[in-house]
Structure 1
Amino acid sequence: MDRTELLLEQYGLEPMRQHRDILKELLRSESLNEEREDNEYLKTLCILVYTYGIAEDTLQIWKAKNINFDTGCYIDGELLIGAGLEETISYLRTLKTAEAENELDYLKKLKTIGRDKVLEFYRSYYGLS
């Protein structure tokens, strides 16, 4: 069993609220891991943090998405808007930072499919349906 499978076994696709800090720390740590063999574990951490639906988490996922070209392709833009597109945009506008502006520019071009379809897709992707 690999790290991604262990992560999903331990927390599930929609982890309980009390695990948020742990998962955010795992995401932070993995984002800094220059030795990572692939991006599956990183993407899965982004998905789990996304499920909380908290706008403040968007920048952490944005940072992971922008580590390099591969993570930019591998981590779906939809994962940036766990709180919803409008709420995320409103949150980012309050920050007035270059990073928030860059993400706002990206979100303006994002075509969304909605939370239910995102979760349905990942349940299928991980064989959890």
Structure 2
Amino acid sequence: MEMDEDESLHRYGLRPVGPSLEEVRGVLTTHIRWEREAQGNGDTELMKLCCVQLFNAGSLDDVLLIWQAKSASMDANCSIDVQLLCGSGLDRTKAYLSRQGRPEADAALQRLIRCEAAGDFEDFTPETQSAQYAAYYAP
């Protein structure tokens, strides 16, 4: 299932639901695998869009998938904003990650704590972040 950022945006929009969300997760999982094989194999712009789409869905179940995307390579880390982990809010995301008991969840939690201390979540809400992405991806 080869697609680029424009096609994904056209097909799913910024707020996919139902089966479309599963397809977005599948696309993201594929590109994470490719990007981990060799930096540049995955399409990091498409990965970012998939993370925005999942962020807009606001499901805690997607937090670790978004973290896997962000941590797939240095390029992906730079492309995918840390705020994208927090589609259901910063506090809920930190609480969720602290309950997971998995090394990758702890790594994501520690990154959120560091970024929050650095001011990266100043005035953050999922709604304002979503509005910024809507403006960014507007035609």
- TM-score normalized by the length of structure 1: 0.89
AA aligned opposite 1:42: M
Distance in structure 2 (CA, Å) of the matches to 1:49 and 1:109: 23
From 82, 90, 95, the equivalent of 2:100 is: 95
Deviation at 1:17, TM superposition (A): 3.2
Structure 1 counterpart of 2:125: 114
Structure 2 counterpart of 1:67: 72
Deviation at 1:119, TM superposition (A): 1.4
Q: What is the CA RMSD across the aligned residues, in angstroms?
A: 1.5
After superposition, the C-alpha distances for 1:5-63 in whole angstroms (9 at most, x for unaligned) are: 11111111111233221111111011112423x41111101111111111121111001
After superposition, the C-alpha distances for 1:87-124 in whole angstroms (9 at most, x for unaligned) are: 11111111111111111101112322211221111111
Structure 2 counterpart of 1:126: 137
Distance in structure 2 (CA, Å) of the matches to 1:87 and 1:70: 27
2:14 is equivalent to residue 13 of structure 1: yes
Distance in structure 2 (CA, Å) of the matches to 1:45 and 1:108: 24
Distance in structure 2 (CA, Å) of the matches to 1:73 and 1:8: 21
The secondary structure found in structure 2 opposite 1:117 is: helix
Distance in structure 2 (CA, Å) of the matches to 1:16 and 1:101: 29
Q: Is the 8 A contact 1:14 1:48 kept in 2?
A: yes
AA aligned opposite 1:12: G
Q: Is the 8 A contact 1:65 1:71 kept in 2?
A: yes
- TM-score normalized by the length of structure 2: 0.83
Number of residue equivalences = 126
Extract unaligned runs of 5+ from structure 1: none
Extract unaligned runs of 5+ from structure 2: 36-40
